[in-house]
Every structure is written in structure tokens, then in C-alpha cells.
Structure 1
Amino acid sequence: MNLKAVTFLVLFAVTAAQTVSNDTLPLIIWHGMGDCCCNPFSMGHIKKIIEEHVPGIYVKSLMIGPNIAADIENGYFMNVNDQVKDVCEQIASNPKLKNGYNAMGFSQGAQFLRAVVQRCGHKVRNFISIGGQHQGVFGLPHCPTLPEKSRVCEYIRKILNHGAYHHWIQDYLVQAEYWHDPLNEELYKEKSVFLADINNERVINQTYIDNLNALNNFVMVKFLRDTMVVPIESEWFGFYAPGQDKDVLPLQETELYLQDRLGLQKMEGEGKLHFIAYDDDHQRFNEKWFMTEIVDKYVA
């Protein structure tokens, strides 16, 4: 093989590699409650296996605060609106993210990251929610569902519900900011400082709709045996019918969908909404499934 042929092949290989690299968008990931950006058994591991699976990809695992300890603590006690603002600024100041990115949130990090999509106006191609609670929660983790066994859980839930909408709890307790009381929808809509806002339940913020509808894909993973999220259907944007806490409506029967307060009807009509079920408990999934059904389809 002569020198010209060798030179051509080298240049071709470099160009092809650059094309693949430029076509692979960076990925933002946001952890759930009690976790942090860099735990080697959770988000650190997720970041590592994605980087190994998708050559050249840049993965940013979000840290809220100056260190890991602060990141964990802020998942409980830092106003979610302040967290979202911090993330918007982190992304805007990162040159590797200026041309757009994909976003993947885990558990409560999913609804927080959706707020980033809606509020920050970044170029986001695909948003993946792994067990996120998009209509909030109205129950305690790991509480039994059988009435005869759940009396204590019910008492605790009622105590939390009694205080969840006090302004100082809403300002400082993260989980209260997506506590959704179906027995008193009007109080929830009036006092919720985070969830009611990003779900456009008080006023219609057209920017939220436009930014969400700009996605190519909105992917929601629901864990069919989830013992952390009540009701589980919140992971697919479903929730209790107003005025009671027994019957659960799928997304398509909720007021949020019927009034199209987030443009989800339009997104579903365009094939942008994807509902994926996984038969296990909260955040328990097989890596092969994760790579094949999530990373290969919506990240790589």
C-alpha cells in the first residue's frame, strides 16, 4: 500500500471517529433521595457503565452543593426551586453542554430534571425518567398496602399531610414539595411551591409547554413492584382521582392530560411519550436491559 493510500485511510478513520463523537450528545443524570452524584454503587456506577458502553460520550452526574455530603443533605433540605436554578447555571456554564444534551433522572431526580427541561430553555433531545414521581406522592415508602396492616402508616401519613403545606415545610423539606394530597386538591394547588408549578396546575406557563414539547422523546419507566412510590402510577404521570385515595387514574384520564396543561396530548399524538414497565422494585433493574432498552435507544 502506498503512502497516499495510507494517508487517505488515516484521514477517513479520524473523520469517521469525529462524526460519531459529534453525533453523540452528552448526558446529564440526576440522582434520587438519599443518594449522591458519585456513589460507586449507584450514580458513579451508572456513569461508568454508560461511558464504557458509548465511546466518547460525556456524562455529567449532577452534584448539588460543594461536596458529596452537601449533595446528599440537599436532597432532603434544599428548596427544589433553588436546586433547579443551580443546575440550570451549572449546565449553562459548561461548554461541553452548549450544543445540547440528553437528560436522565432517577426517582425524585427525574421530576427535578423535568423542571430543568421546562424552565431552563436548553437544547434537550431526550428526557428519560427512571421511576420519577411526576404527579407527586401521597404515601410513605415501604408501607404495606393491605388495610389491616397499614394502620400505623395511615396515621403517619395523615400527620405528614397535616403539615406538608405549611410554608416553612414547603420551603425546606424537599419531599413535601412533591407531596400531592388528592383529598384536598385546592390546598395542594395553592400551597405547593414546586410540583403544582411545574405541572401548570395554577396558571398555564406556555414556556413550560413549549420546552417540554421540544423534546424528541419523553421516556417514563415504571417499576411494577415499587414499594417506595405511592401511587406507583405517578411514574407514568397517573394519580388518584380527586377527592379520594383509592382509585387511580392513568395519565389519559387525569385533568392534567384532559386539559392538556403540559401539552402531553400533543406529545403522545406525535409519538414522543414512551411508557416502559419494569417488573421489579424501585430502582432495581438489570444492566443488560438498561443498556438495550434505555441507553441504546435514547442515549447512544
Structure 2
Amino acid sequence: MELKIIFSAIFSVFFVGSVSCHSNSSLPLVIWHGMGDSCCNPLSMGSIKSLVEKNIPGIYVNSLEIGSNIIDDMANGFFMDGFTQIKFACDIIAKDPKLKNGYNAIGFSQGGQFLRAVAQICPNPPMNNLISAGGQHQGVYGFPRCPGDNSTLCNLARELLNMGAYDKFVQENLVQAQYWHDPLNEAEYRQYSRFIAIINQENSVNETYKKNLVKLNKFVMVMFGKDTMVEPKESEWFGFYVPGNTSDVYTLRESKLYIQDKLGLKQMDADKKLVFLTAPWDHLQFTDEWFEANLIPYMK
């Protein structure tokens, strides 16, 4: 009996020690793709997932699929109301047992502002670090081209925007209109925007949104230095056109959002939680080496 107890103790110590030596202490990662893309495209999000897994062995990655299949996921990026998408994503995250103790997140293009809204609206389970790669946090004023493989959806989105971004039908049926920010008509933008003006607290401040965002450990914003898609590219760092023109741009620290601290960004800046990175390429273009050196550290 004594030998059996001793053997059990030795086996237990060896086995547990062996597992702990090889266990992965990194938080799981949630990915949200951009417009015209899907969760599992092997050339985009699939490639990102593989790159992360190569650099952080054993990490669990959940690439969000907004819909019941890849086709729905791609279409919903154009036509599912922004807040409906946020709720869909929050439900996926809350129901995933592997995320229950917290996670890091990376969003690409519009996935960046969507994950920022997740951090504001759905604090449980907690998001630790948020990486926004090309997210348009002050919206866009222009639709020059569309990434992804579906030119039909892109052309339809462009036609709807041409009807009028703040038209009730367009706002209710086109995601991109919900983060359209017209600097020549700021009052109209604040009144009719169904998404970006709301999460940016343009008209009223939801203290819960602010409190939740400040809980982030790091908020990493990547601006693409030669971006030809996002207008203005400074939106990726919370900058935007000065009201009344489409040439002069203000920075985050010059914005009312920051000065009045409507989102908690001023507080986060003081706490050194904001990270500003520049990728010296066009929209969503970067090398594996740049990704590994600049973004992987925030996923560990």
C-alpha cells in the first residue's frame, strides 16, 4: 500500500510538472475580419490565424463568423446592422468556454471599430488587449475601393452610398453608411449615424461604455501610412477632417472626444494604455516580419 502511495505521488508530481512546463499561458485571441472578407478565408484571416499559431504555440484562436456560414458572414459585413453584429459577436464570445477567463482581440479594418464596440458594450468575458489594424474609429468620408473578393457586394454598397449615406433606408441597410462621417454636415452625421456617432458618444455619454473601454490593458491602433482606401487614414488613430473641410485633419489629442474625454481615451493616454503604430504600406498590407515584431507581443 505504501509503495502504491509513493508511486502515485511521484507520478502526480512528474505528470503535473510536465504539463505545466508545456502549458501555454497566453490568453486566447479573437479575430474580426473586415468588409468584403470572411472569418475563414485561407488567404486572409486563415493566414493570420496560422501566423499567430506559429508564433504562439498552443494559443486558441476564435475567428468570428457573423452568420451561419461563410457566405452569410461576408454578406453581413455589408448588410447586417452594426449593433446587431456586435450583439452576435458578444454572444459568440460569451458562449465560448475557452474565452471565459479573458482574451486578446485583433480587428481588421471595420472589424477594428466593431471590436472596440464589443469592449465598450460587452465587458464579460474581459478583453485584455485590443489591436485595431486599420479600424476607422472616426468613420470615413469616401469609398474609393473595396477589399475582398466580392466586387458585386462592393458595387452595391457604393450605389447605396451614392443614394445618400444618411437616407433612412441606406442607414438601416448598409453597414458602411453607419460609419459614414461627413465633415461638411457634422450635425446631420451626429443626428442620423446609427453606429459610429453612437459608440463615439457624439450626442450623449454612456458612462458604462466609457468605463468598459478604460478597462483595456492596451489599445493598439495601426494606421497604414500609404492607405488609399480609408479617407482620411488618420481615422485609424482617431483623427479626422476638421469640420467644414476635407483637407485639414485634426489628431486624437485635438479632438473633442479626447478633450472632453467622452470615451475615456484621455484617461487611457495618461495611463499609457494607447499605442500608435504605423504600417508603411497600403490598407491591410504588411509583412509577416512586421506583424510578428509589432503585433504578436500584444497577443502573448
What TM-score results when the alignment is normalised by the length of structure 1? Answer: 0.89
Pick closer, same or farther for the CA change 1:87–1:7 going to 2, 3 Å. Answer: closer
Pick closer, same or farther for the CA change 1:209–1:106 going to 2, 3 Å. Answer: same
Hey, what does 1:205 align to over in structure 2? 206
Structure 1 vs Structure 2 CA RMSD? 2.0
Hey, what does 2:182 align to over in structure 1? 181
Q: Is the 8 A contact 1:131 1:282 kept in 2?
A: yes
Provide the rounded CA distance (Å) in 2 between the counterparts of 1:213 and 1:167.
33
Asked if 1:16 is matched to 2:18, the reply is no
Deviation at 1:162, TM superposition (A): 6.4
For 1:140, the aligned partner's letter is F
Give 5+ residue unaligned stretches, structure 1.
144-156
SS in 1 for 2:71: helix
Q: Is the 8 A contact 2:161 2:170 kept in 1?
A: no
Hey, what does 2:132 align to over in structure 1? 129
Q: Is the 8 A contact 1:32 1:75 kept in 2?
A: yes
Q: Is the 8 A contact 2:34 2:77 kept in 1?
A: yes
SS in 2 for 1:182: coil
Hey, what does 2:286 align to over in structure 1? 285
Asked if 1:241 is matched to 2:246, the reply is no
For 1:262, the aligned partner's letter is L
Residues 179-235 of structure 1: CA distance to partner in whole angstroms, max 9, x if unpaired? Answer: 001111111011101000100111100111111100000000000000010001000
Asked if 1:298 is matched to 2:293, the reply is no
1:56-205 maps to which residues of 2 (within 5 A)? 56-122=58-124, 123-142=126-145, 160=161, 163-205=164-206
1:240-259 maps to which residues of 2 (within 5 A)? 240-259=241-260
Pick closer, same or farther for the CA change 1:161–1:142 going to 2, 3 Å. Answer: closer
For 1:299, the aligned partner's letter is M
Q: Is the 8 A contact 2:223 2:279 kept in 1?
A: yes
For 2:92, the aligned partner's letter is Q
Pick closer, same or farther for the CA change 1:259–1:59 going to 2, 3 Å. Answer: same
For 1:286, the aligned partner's letter is T
What TM-score results when the alignment is normalised by the length of structure 2? Answer: 0.89
Runs of 4+ residues deviating >4 angstroms: 3-10
Residues 17-40 of structure 1: CA distance to partner in whole angstroms, max 9, x if unpaired? Answer: 33xx2x311110000010000000
